[in-house]
Structure 1
């Protein structure tokens, strides 16, 4: 797992068997606070997911070999990746059954080409923002847990030591907790 670094762009995985589609997607997403990682097949996408954390997956529904639906099923079956939102992208006709199949595979959206790049950008922006906020909440929760542990230790020190020694030790522990809480 790759830790989230504050201020760094969120990684999104672009999956399409056609190189020109990947290039077009990267161009549409230029200027957004994202780092695009590309994969040209379902297998390549699953390998990328083993290498790091992703905020979002843009997944072509129709690819040779493992199609997008099967790829999504593998992604959603893994504990580590099942929460990653997937937007299916397809050049197929607007058959409602295909869209339902995409949603059944775990997608949060299903877009048919040609689609409005500004709509895609808006959807990507919202999902990335939600991801970053969720990651920030996780960081805050870990900091709170550390602080609670330090307070517990401090209370134990106060209960077991004479008042003057206890105050000195408690002060040192609380100062250390404050320093640790300030570092991300």
Structure 2
């Protein structure tokens, strides 16, 4: 299994970073800190992240500007962003957040369980995407290489088991997203994954 999924925490206040780390401590993730928009962009240069928790109000480059830079980069444009801000923010902040490409927008103080559940869904989706990429790569190798006599009997059942596990996990994550009220934000990524699984199944059926 690849390394644990990373979640980027972007906030200029130390106490907020500590609180976010505590909320996520029960999840199987690695939390990475950034104290500014500039630090966040540097962290994103060479590291993959499952999700970004981004504070709106920061000195210098605020959350909206940071998100705009993230969405302009080919490498990072598809990383989900959840905006976090205080409850007395300007009334148009939520609209600006979604316009900037955020998948969600939470006001402080928020329910720790709600945030943890939302993060869990996106991390599960990220991990499944990685596993699906691995299975697709393996299947492509098998499709492009003629199997020696007798090898198909050994390889095909294993491929079938892996693909069935992916299909079951996709169904589980779809259900999890629904119960976490994240189905709208996740509808696009889940549909993309569903199409990839369908293509993978079609490729396997052709191989078998």
TM range (shorter): 0.7 to 0.9
Residues 87 and 109 in structure 2, CA contact (< 8 A), matched pair in contact too: no
The one of 33, 44, 47 equivalent to 1:49 is 44
Q: Look up the match of 1:91.
A: 86
Q: Look up the match of 1:163.
A: none
Residues 6 and 49 in structure 2, CA contact (< 8 A), matched pair in contact too: yes
Q: Look up the match of 1:162.
A: none
CA distance in 1, matches of 2:53, 2:142: 38
CA distance in 2, matches of 1:36, 1:51: 16
For residues 154-177 of structure 1, what are the alpha-carbon distances to aligned partners after superposition, in whole Å with 9 as ceiling and x for unaligned? 6xxxxxxxxxxxxxxx449x58x9
CA-based RMSD: 2.0
Q: Look up the match of 1:129.
A: 124
Query: How far apart are residue 94 of structure 1 and its match?
Result: 5.3
* Alignment coverage as a number of residue pairs: 156
Query: How far apart are residue 87 of structure 1 and its match?
Result: 0.3
Q: Look up the match of 1:146.
A: 141
Query: How far apart are residue 96 of structure 1 and its match?
Result: 3.8
Structure 1, unpaired ranges of 5+: 1-5, 155-169
Structure 2, unpaired ranges of 5+: 160-208
Stretches of 4+ aligned residues off by more than 6 angstroms: none
Instruction: Please say if 1:61 is aligned against 2:52.
Output: no
CA distance in 1, matches of 2:2, 2:145: 28
For residues 11-90 of structure 1, the aligned pairs below 5 Å read: 11-90=6-85
For residues 90-133 of structure 1, what are the alpha-carbon distances to aligned partners after superposition, in whole Å with 9 as ceiling and x for unaligned? 11525441001000111000111010111000000011111111
CA distance in 2, matches of 1:115, 1:134: 28
CA distance in 1, matches of 2:137, 2:71: 26
Residues 37 and 66 in structure 2, CA contact (< 8 A), matched pair in contact too: yes
- TM-score when normalising by structure 2: 0.70
